[in-house]
Structure 1
Amino acid sequence: MAKTIAIAGGTGFLGSYVAELLHNDGYKILISTRNPEKISDKFKKFEIFGWNPQTENFPTDVIQKSDVVINFLGETISQRWTQKVKERLRSSRIDSTRKIAEAFSKVDSNGKVFISASATGIYGSKRDDVLDEDSNPGDDFLAKLCIDWENEARKVEDTGARVVILRIGIVLGKGGGFLARLTPLFKLGLGGKISNGKAWMSWVHIDDLAKVVKFAIENDGVRGVYNVVSPNPVTNEEFTRTFAKVLKRPAIFTVPKFALKILFGKELTEIALISSQKVQPKRLTEAGFKFQYEDIESALRSLF
């Protein structure tokens, strides 16, 4: 069993949750931060190493002493996509992954594992098509970003390490991500479906995401690309109705497309906010992974 795990992006919403689960299972956890001297007390149980992806190479000594390196770095896409923002979105994912790959190439990486995040955004918006890992990628900004991101991660294969790429859907968890933005509105009774509500949402409970990471670490046969989503995607309308039911609040409003375009811009709205992706975790299911939260109501009730 691998003993030492380094997490780039280990102080973020996803990384910190995964770090906690793995720490509780007995793994030694190293997490990166730009400012080690300003690290929050809740991370003091982990070993901290300084790394600024914009200005520094990834430290090779971290690769040397780690059995597994996980990359969860990436600036949030939920902001208006100006040209500068799009450059930051690419750099925070692609440049950081490239630097980790370069560090792997400078040491003996045989037997090590690299787990890199990607996103189901790679497929583009496909309406009602059922998508799995063999489906064709899209050609919008987010899809091209994911393609380039994954290509950088795959370079680590040349070093002899086992590479696992996780195409992560909408993550449902407390304290961050998708639900952190929606919950206040729904609790005020201001929640509602987006446009006609027919767009498909491919989601995963954060517990299952963390367990997928652990599954990838502990199973040598797991390599390549995996969709990390529940086997049961839902339409935006079904999600809205279920979330309102769980919170015991009405959800009678409809958020029109034009309002989203005013708030977030046309490109982000079309590509991410009203995108339709009906994704299946085909390779995870074939590998024997069992989801704890397969339906949206049980997932939401566990969090609220």
Structure 2
Amino acid sequence: MQEFRKQVQAPVPVEALFAWHERPGAFERLSPPWDRPKVLEHTGGIRDGAKVVLQVHAGPLPTTWTLEHRDYIANRQFRDVMRDGPFSVWEHTHGFAPIDAQASTLDDHIRYELPLGGLGSAVAGGYTQRTLERVFAYRHAVMLGDLARHAQFDDRPRLRIAITGASGFIGTQLAAFLSTGGHEVIRIGRSAPKPGSHDIQWNPERAQLDPRSLEGVDAVIHLAGASIASRWTAEHRVALKSSRVEGTSLLAHTLAQLSRKPRVLLSGSAIGIYGSRGDDVLDERSTLGDDYLADVGRAWEASTAPAEKAGIRVVHLRTGIVQGAAGGALGTQAPLFRYGAGGTLGPGTQWVSPIALDDEIGAIHFCLMRDDIRGPVNIVAPTAVTNAEFTKVLGDVMSRPTIAHAPAFALRLLLGEEMANLTVLASQRVEPRVLRDAGFVWRLPQLEQMLRFELGE
């Protein structure tokens, strides 16, 4: 039997540390994105008899893990035991202990046995230990970062928050982050809600959204919209704009009608609203662009007007290029770089304004909790980089060459001229003036930091 143990101190009382782990969303927050874990079944929380079935991509082929929770003692421990999966034995004890009234310790202790006994240990024992070190370094960093962000607003009441796009790349992690922080999350989606949930069904194309379902909600975060990454056919071009404008308009009009209106609407937007501007430094005071994506952004933001006129604080989340291993641009680029096919796009001189997924979530939360923030907010890291610099840093992080090069003409042939010019070849050197002036703290402000964290390197 082999063992792995890692302890970490948290600057919160043991009750708060345990509560964070027990709330919905903890598993999603703690799961490394590079393994692309998928919850197939989860019943019963972390109490005795609860069950979790996962699909994990730790290796060339996905594996299924069936775990059962046992030995639950509030504020002291709970344990995961593998009933079926790749290990002969797997027992993970999460131990909690107070240090004093304001601090506590988490002790992750795993006892495991690989298949094939001694042969399995000889072949894969070292790899397993290295993998666990990598995984728990990530888990503890996420947990401590989340606890710190929530502690910043300990004096504020927890909120009932409705979210559109809660199953997307950003929305999934945002909903989990808010839930573990003690907020109540209500998902607004197209599917019928599960029995017993408070989730809400809507259909923006048919203007279907029951106002009664939103009564009593404190905040709304609107992230839904058609993916910009799909090829821009004439049909998808229409969907890009209509999915944003129609959905936002329906939501804003509905919120304006409520007898008890939410205090804030955080509505998605994007830095594409500035257009492609070469080396110009852009902040929230900059003029807007005049191309297709800028027009979409302008109409998207204007659609929130009914909510603003009704006295609801509105924030436009002008998001940059979100870096996360489980999706977005990095989710597409990382596999190419892993196989040595990464390189610069077009001239490489165009500016890219990235932000780590965890800082994206933190910035949205900051705007949610700060009553003095309204209007456009650039959600980007403090420093933009050129495409050539991004390529070099990603190659260095992944220890891969970056000699490949996709010429601009090839990208235009592959994607279409308009899509290529306004996405991979666009130059947007954006600064987060509002966040910076309001005192927001980035956990991963530099490109290399965010890429190493998200890729587990």
Q: TM-score, normalised on structure 1?
A: 0.94
> For residues 180-199 of structure 1, what are the structure 2 equivalents within 5 Å?
180-199=331-350
2:152 paired with 1:21: no
Whether contact under 8 Å (2:218, 2:261) holds in the other structure is no
Name which of 135, 142, 151 aligns with 2:302. Answer: 151
Once the 2 structures are TM-superposed, how far is the Cα of residue 213 of structure 1 from its aligned partner? 1.3
| Matched AA of 1:12 | G
Once the 2 structures are TM-superposed, how far is the Cα of residue 47 of structure 1 from its aligned partner? 3.8
* Stretches of 4+ aligned residues off by more than 6 angstroms: none
RMSD across aligned C-alpha pairs, in angstroms? 1.6
More strand per residue: 1 or 2? 2
Whether contact under 8 Å (2:255, 2:262) holds in the other structure is no
Once the 2 structures are TM-superposed, how far is the Cα of residue 259 of structure 1 from its aligned partner? 1.4
Once the 2 structures are TM-superposed, how far is the Cα of residue 114 of structure 1 from its aligned partner? 0.4
Name which of 412, 417, 425 aligns with 1:266. Answer: 417
More helix per residue: 1 or 2? 1
Whether contact under 8 Å (1:109, 1:160) holds in the other structure is no
2:187 paired with 1:36: no
Gaps of 5+ in 1: none
Whether contact under 8 Å (1:6, 1:62) holds in the other structure is no
| Matched AA of 2:173 | Y
CA separation of 1:128 and 1:58: change in aligned 2, threshold 3 A? same
Greater shift, 261-270 or 51-60, is seen at 51-60
* Residues in 2 aligned to 1:173 and 1:241: alpha-carbon distance in whole angstroms: 18
* Residues in 1 aligned to 2:376 and 2:175: alpha-carbon distance in whole angstroms: 21
| Matched AA of 2:286 | S
* Residues in 1 aligned to 2:384 and 2:197: alpha-carbon distance in whole angstroms: 35
| Matched AA of 2:169 | F
CA separation of 1:72 and 1:13: change in aligned 2, threshold 3 A? same
* Residues in 2 aligned to 1:275 and 1:229: alpha-carbon distance in whole angstroms: 16
Whether contact under 8 Å (1:166, 1:228) holds in the other structure is yes
Where 1:273 maps in the other structure, the secondary structure is coil
Whether contact under 8 Å (1:94, 1:152) holds in the other structure is yes
Where 2:315 maps in the other structure, the secondary structure is strand
Name which of 206, 209, 222 aligns with 2:357. Answer: 206
2:281 paired with 1:130: yes
Identity, in percent, stands at 37
Once the 2 structures are TM-superposed, how far is the Cα of residue 250 of structure 1 from its aligned partner? 0.8
CA separation of 1:298 and 1:46: change in aligned 2, threshold 3 A? farther
| Matched AA of 1:97 | T
Where 1:164 maps in the other structure, the secondary structure is strand
Alignment-derived partner of residue 96 in structure 1 = 247
| Matched AA of 2:250 | K
* Residues in 2 aligned to 1:62 and 1:131: alpha-carbon distance in whole angstroms: 39
- Number of equivalenced pairs: 299
* Residues in 2 aligned to 1:246 and 1:45: alpha-carbon distance in whole angstroms: 45
Alignment-derived partner of residue 284 in structure 1 = 435
2:156 paired with 1:5: no
* Residues in 1 aligned to 2:197 and 2:372: alpha-carbon distance in whole angstroms: 28
2:161 paired with 1:161: no
Kindly indicate whether structure 1 or structure 2 has the higher relative contact order, using CA contacts under 8 Å at least 6 residues apart: 1
| Matched AA of 1:151 | A
* Residues in 1 aligned to 2:220 and 2:256: alpha-carbon distance in whole angstroms: 13
* Residues in 1 aligned to 2:222 and 2:197: alpha-carbon distance in whole angstroms: 16
Where 2:393 maps in the other structure, the secondary structure is helix
* Residues in 2 aligned to 1:45 and 1:238: alpha-carbon distance in whole angstroms: 50
List per-residue Cα deviations over 1:79-116 (Å, max 9, x = no partner): 22222111100111000000001101211355621000
Whether contact under 8 Å (1:28, 1:46) holds in the other structure is no
List per-residue Cα deviations over 1:146-194 (Å, max 9, x = no partner): 0000001233111111111110000001211111111111110000001
Greater shift, 251-260 or 94-103, is seen at 251-260
Q: Which structure has the larger Rg over C-alpha atoms?
A: 2
